[in-house]
Amino acid sequence: MTKLLSVRLVAILVGLGFTVAVLWGFLVGAYNAATEEAAGHVPYEHPKELSWSFDGPFGKWDKAQLQRGLKVYDEVCSACHSLKFVAFRDLEQIGYSEAMVKAYAAAKTVPGIDPNTGEASTRPGLPTDYFPSPYPNNVAAAAANNNAIPPDLSLMTKARGDGTNYVASLLMGYQEPSAELLEEHPEAAPGPGLYHNPYFPNLNLAMAPPLTSTGQVTYDDGTEATVEQMSKDVAAFLTWTAEPTLVKRKQTGWPVLIFLLFATVLAYMSKKQIWSAVKPKK
């Protein structure tokens, strides 16, 4: 009896502790939200709700769009941002042949070792190499970008809430702050070296508008390269770099769900069959 009481007491204390922790988290979050609003926290806009081929349970990659997005990254974004978790050979997943991947990798310069001296050098890329960084180190990156280090983009759409829509909205969102915003929040005015963007949490960021005009990139498939089109294409490409197994995971999920449903029905029928001869006591 004493042991049973001890177990119950421990269970009660654990449940009480969990309840207190949840309540504390709620109160702290509510307090932070209230104080930010009271302090005049500058409001930013939530990303636009855009349509994507990979949305929903039956979504799939639009490989033509992913290839266009690679072109935007290659010709615009790669000047400042790296893709350190993506290998050249991964591009076969978005429709490039082995020969095309080899040619693409060979056109890139990656870090290497001089076999004769053992010193650091550079060499043409191989399919097994990863996308090189545009800067040798963070010091050089900061020096070239007004002391702001451009983040790696490999996992960017997973690192931001509503990541795909966020990236596309941010690239399309550069504009001058409105007079009403500046009147209500003077601190929203972009300082030296900063650019206003309503989709960025503090409204001003150090990255200059990367996509500025139609035709900045020439697509191989003839698609018109408007700022909106380029923004959506590179956002889709970065969604693939962050989660290349996204579509395969969805495709795998359906057979698993069907199997679990079948197993549940089978287990229920087995239970009914096994216990059918047993009558409940009155």
Query: When comparing pLDDT for 30 and 200, which is higher?
Result: 200
DSSP letter for each residue of 148-162: --PPP-TTHHHHSTT
Euclidean distance between CA atoms 90 and 86, whole angstroms = 7
Query: Taking a C-beta distance cutoff of 8 angstroms, is the pair 86, 154 a contact?
Result: yes
Of the candidates 84, 213, 212, 192, the residue with the CA atom closest to the CA atom of residue 148? 192
- Given a cut of 60, whether residue 80 has pLDDT beyond it is yes
**Dihedral angle sign, alpha carbons of residues 66, 71, 76, 78:** positive
Q: Give the residue-averaged pLDDT of 223-246.
A: 96
Mean pLDDT of 163-174: 95
Helix (H) or strand (E) holding 259: helix 246-274
Question: What is the model's pLDDT at position 263?
Answer: 87
**Considering the chain, what percentage of its residues have pLDDT values greater than 90?**
52
Average pLDDT on 51-69 reads 94
Average pLDDT for 69-88: 95
Tokens of 129: 């190499």
The length of the chain is: 282
* 3 state DSSP class of 45: coil
Sign of CA dihedral 84, 241, 143, 203: negative
Per the confidence metrics, is the pTM higher than 0.95? no
For residue range 248-272, what is the model confidence (pLDDT) as tens digits?
Answer: 888 888 888 888 888 888 888 887 7
Number of H helices and number of E strands within the chain?
A: 9, 4
For residue range 122-138, what is the model confidence (pLDDT) as tens digits?
889 999 999 999 998 99
pLDDT-derived band of residue 282, with 50, 70 and 90 as boundaries? low
65-87 burial code (b ≥16 CB/10 A, e <16): bbbbbbbbbbebbbebbbbeebb
* Residue 35: per-residue pLDDT: 45
pLDDT at residue number 31: 52
Contact 247, 54 (CB under 8 A): yes
Mean pLDDT of the chain: 86
**What is each CA distance from 101 to 131, 134, 244, 281, in whole angstroms?**
12, 20, 17, 72
Query: So what's the pLDDT on residue 15?
Result: 67
- pLDDT at site 96: 95
Residue 244: per-residue pLDDT: 94
Cα–Cα dist 7/194, whole Å:
60
125's CB contacts (< 8 A; 6+ apart) are 88, 105, 106, 107, 108, 109, 110, 132
Q: What is the pLDDT of residue 32?
A: 52
Residue 168 has pLDDT above 80, yes or no: yes
What local confidence, expressed as pLDDT, does residue 40 receive? Answer: 44
Could you give the count of Cα atoms lying within 13 Å of 53 in the half-sphere of its Cβ? 15
- Going by C-alpha positions, the residue among 193, 199, 203, 233 that lies closest to residue 216 is 233
Rounded Cα distance, 53 and 59, in Å: 6
Least confident of 1-10, 108-117, 187-196, 243-252: 1-10
Question: Which token pair is 128?
Answer: 């097994």
Quick: pLDDT tens for 6-58: 656 666 766 677 777 767 766 665 555 544 444 446 678 899 999 999 998 88
pLDDT of residue 37: 44
What would the mean pLDDT of 81-103 be, rounded to a whole number?
A: 95
Residue 87 to residue 74: CA distance in whole angstroms: 14
How confident is the model at residue 83, as a pLDDT? 96
d(CA 263, CA 256): 10
